[in-house]
Amino acid sequence: MELYTEIQINAPPERIWRILTDFAGFPQWNPFIRRASGKPENGEKLEVYLQPEGAGGMTVRPIVLKSEPGRELRWRGHLLLPGLFDGEHIFIIEPLVAGGVRFIQREIFTGLFVPFLAHKLNTETRRGFEDMNHALKLLAEGEN
């Protein structure tokens, strides 16, 4: 199962990257990823607390799979044991010819529990992605 969201942001890729990787600042602006710690570098382990508005939260400890400054941040984590409920979270910053960026937030879910959680993922988690995208847009464009 995959979730996919995108938003156009009128800000340079470097600004989006700076905000996205400033984990210490997440509690001040991010309505979905409430807290994150670790280094957004290839192979590093993060600690990420996710809580969509009005829903329960969970802590995951993913490994960074790809960290390409100004372009892409990707990590993979799992709930309890690998194979039960795994998620590969992907942030893509795509520069637009006319200026600004297309910010894409995706997650690919695999594992035995995915069918049982599909409804929550399609509602609560998708809402969390969209809320975060809008908050990132407001913050990044507000720095203009």
Q: What is the pLDDT of residues 83-141, one digit of tens each?
A: 999 999 999 999 999 999 999 999 999 999 999 999 999 999 999 999 999 999 999 99
Gap between the Cα atoms of 130 and 119, Å rounded: 16
Q: Which two tokens stand for residue 60?
A: 């995951």
- How many domains does the chain contain in total? 1
Q: Does pLDDT of 143 surpass 90?
A: no
CATH number (domain holding residue 51) = 3.30.530.20
Query: By residue range, what is the domain housing residue 30?
Result: 2-142
Q: Closest Cα partner for 58 from 134, 124, 131?
A: 124
Q: Does pLDDT of 81 surpass 90?
A: no
Task: With H, G, I as helix, E, B as strand and everything else as coil, classify residue 46.
Answer: coil
